[in-house]
């Protein structure tokens, strides 16, 4: 539900956003996100906004 709240807030401010699921086997993306997330976190999706 958090992703919906973030998406709604971005839309309210005039931005477009979409939720993109990430494959477990995408090591480059997972490594990049680990710079900002705890090591025990598993990233399943990201919200792309512009």
**Domain count for the chain:** 1
With residue 10 as reference, give the H or E element that holds it.
Answer: helix 2-12
48 phi, psi to nearest 5 deg: -95, 130
Determine the pLDDT at residue 13: 92
Residue 42 pLDDT exceeds 80? no
Q: What is the pTM for the complete model shown?
A: 0.46
Residue 1 pLDDT exceeds 70? no
Domain that holds residue 45: 2-49
Find where tokens 């086997």 sit.
Answer: 25
């Amino acid at each position: 539900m958090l992703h919906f709240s973030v998406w709604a807030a971005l839309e309210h401010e005039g931005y477009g956003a979409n939720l993109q699921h990430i494959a477990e086997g995408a090591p480059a993306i997972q490594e990049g996100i680990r710079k900002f997330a705890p090591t025990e976190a598993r990233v399943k999706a990201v919200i792309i906004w512009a």
